[in-house]
Amino acid sequence: MTPVRVLAVASEVYPIVKTGGLADVAGALPAALKAHGVEMRTLMPGYPDVTRMLAGAEEIRRWPDYFGGPGRLFAGAHDGLDLFVLDVPHLYARPGNPYVTSEGIDWPDNGVRFAALARVAADIGHGLVPAFVPDVVHAHDWQAGLAPAYLHYDNRPRPGTVMTIHNMAYQGKFAPELIGAIGLPWHSFNVNELEYFGGISFLKAGLQFADRITTVSPTYAREIQSDEGGMGFGGLLRARAGVLSGILNGIDISVWNPQEDPHIAYRFGAEDLTFRAANKAVLQQQFNLDSSDEAPLLGVISRLSWQKGLDLLLEAIPTILGEGMQLALLGSGDRDLQEAYQAAARANPGRIGVMIGYDEILAHLIQAGSDALIVPSRFEPCGLTQLCALRYGAVPVVSRVGGLEDTIVDVGEADASGRDATGFKFGPVTADALAGSLRKANIAFHDKATWRRLQRNGLATDVSWRNRAGDYAALYRGLMAARA
């Protein structure tokens, strides 16, 4: 097995900094790749939490002026992750969210902030750190999208490049004047390179210049080649279809393990689901729901947004109430949706419980105590919550899009697919179709043998990174062979 060195470039990495699923992938993939002979180190920005955690890290490079202020590059380790940290205080030493102000507005210098990250990734690719010269630079999402571009515009020999799209909706769009400020050539400002509707797009840079493009499920890889799913990049992705593939995400099964999970009230395994009922009782108490074994408890862990289909779930609340179900929702996002769900909870005490925000402990309890997990997304590149649900015996009810289509086997499709049913899928993505699936789930819930079979099938599903990491390792080696 040929050893491979990969530099991953990510704007967030779990458990250090997390705002979404990108962090989970960036945090779990390196360990899984070790079994496949891949040494991965991850480059990330030096946000305040990062520099505090890596206080003893080794300084390996210092710049008096890096994109407008002093900067340093550190190498260190945290929680099993080998990291490079770009510490540029005037760009990253800010409280709160990595991307937006406390008012929810994008930091005005985000273009420079993430160009700096991509620039140092390219420099590492060219040998900035002699002890670690990567064979492949793997850029995640728009924040790292300029890394393949910087490598492309440099005439020196370079490593192979991979660009992974976690969500096409986030495109890193900036004014064209940024080109000069971040050290890219002005001739790159054309429709075949960086130009995008009069500005530039960091995502387009990665899609245009990476040797290989991946996204996080096979179905999403097909969807983004359409004009609608590509969100402006469908034509480019169709042109590059030969280097585009979909590799499903996994989850870290050491973190999401109901047998050892420190965050849930009662631990359990696939052989004995008895304690799920006890977790359900705790969850009902946490959300001020009526104590009931017979009422199906629906869990939601989601950003409250149009993409996630939470407006559709709101329309389906009469069905939830009419079917005698309960709803426990954890999430935040669109202010109108937040207020609508809070109003629904006030109007239906004991039936609907809502907590605005995100809490990791509560997220684990929802997986362990909900009877079903609802994911009604309009588009979903992969989705992680439904994978956690399978692992915890919460039966997924999901829309037929992206990774939800790939990871859940519908009750009506089990025989045809050869795989065992694990949940309920609905399409088209409408409130009526969602309501229909909820009614089917309610019927199945009251047939205890059927429901237990769905739970056990889910628990038996491999949602780990083991096989997915093997797909990435094969991609890296194939790229190296093609460039040899």
Say what the pLDDT of residue 416 is.
Answer: 65
> Which pair of tokens denotes residue 337?
């949706």
Residue 361: pLDDT above 90?
A: yes
How confident is residue 476, by pLDDT bands cut at 50, 70 and 90? very high
Q: What is the pTM of this model?
A: 0.94
**CA-derived radius of gyration, the chain:** 23
Residue 1: pLDDT above 90?
A: no
Q: Which residue has the tokens 């993430």?
A: 114
Residue 473: pLDDT above 70?
A: yes
Beta strands 173-174; 195-196: pairing state:
unpaired
- 171-199, pLDDT tens digit by residue? 999 999 999 999 999 999 999 999 999 99
CA distance 99 to 449: 47
Q: Which residue has the tokens 């020196």?
A: 156
Say what the pLDDT of residue 417 is.
Answer: 66
> Which pair of tokens denotes residue 334?
């669109």
Say what the pLDDT of residue 418 is.
Answer: 66
Section 204-218 average pLDDT = 98
Per-position DSSP letters for 105-134, written without gaps between them? PBPTTHHHHHHHHHHHHHHHHTTSSTT---
CA distance 90 to 266: 46
- 2-47, pLDDT tens digit by residue? 899 999 999 999 999 998 889 999 999 999 999 999 999 999 999 9
Per-position DSSP letters for 193-232, written without gaps between them? TTEETTEEEHHHHHHHH-SEEEES-HHHHHHTTSHHHHTT
- 65-92, pLDDT tens digit by residue? 999 999 999 999 999 999 999 999 999 9
Look over the chain and give the mean of its residue pLDDT values, rounded to a whole number: 96
Residue 456: pLDDT above 80?
A: yes
> Which pair of tokens denotes residue 200?
């530039």
- Residues forming beta bridges with residue 246, ordered by sequence position: 215
Residue 106: pLDDT above 90?
A: yes
Nearest of 164, 256, 274, 264 to residue 461 by alpha carbon: 256
CA distance 152 to 314: 47
Nearest of 396, 356, 364 to residue 380 by alpha carbon: 396
> Could you check whether the bond before residue 48 is cis, i.e. omega within 30 degrees of 0?
no
Section 110-129 average pLDDT = 98
CA distance 66 to 144: 17
Domains 4-250+466-483 and 274-459 share a fold: yes
The H or E element containing residue 87 is strand 81-87
Burial 150-176 (b: 16+ CB within 10 A, else e): bbbbeeeebbbbbbbbbbbebbbbbee
Nearest of 86, 106, 111, 88 to residue 96 by alpha carbon: 106
Residue 23 one-letter amino acid:
A
- 255-300, pLDDT tens digit by residue? 999 999 999 999 999 888 999 999 999 999 999 999 999 999 999 9
Say what the pLDDT of residue 53 is.
Answer: 87
Nearest of 416, 405, 415 to residue 223 by alpha carbon: 405
Burial 107-118 (b: 16+ CB within 10 A, else e): bebbbbbbbbbb
Q: Is 227 exposed, middle or buried (0-12, 13-18, 19+ CB in 10 A)?
A: exposed
Section 310-327 average pLDDT = 98
Residue 100: pLDDT above 90?
A: yes
Residue 95: pLDDT above 90?
A: no
Backbone angles phi, psi at 453, to 5 degrees: -65, -45
DSSP letter at 72 equals: E
Domain range annotation of the chain: 4-250+466-483, 274-459
The residue ranges of DSSP E strands in 167-324, in sequence order, are 173-174, 195-196, 199-201, 212-215, 244-246, 297-304
CA distance 184 to 280: 55
CATH class of 274-459: alpha beta
Q: Assign domain 4-250+466-483 to its CATH superfamily.
A: Glycogen Phosphorylase B; (3.40.50.2000)
**Angle, CA of 439, 442 and 443, to the nearest 5°:** 90
DSSP letter at 410 equals: B
Q: Quick check: 7 and 39 in contact, CB under 8 A? A: no
Per-position DSSP letters for 416-459, written without gaps between them? HHSSPP-BEEE-SSSHHHHHHHHHHHHHHHTSHHHHHHHHHHHH
Residue 33 region by backbone torsions, left for phi larger than 0, else alpha for psi between -120 and 50, else beta:
alpha
How confident is residue 54, by pLDDT bands cut at 50, 70 and 90? confident
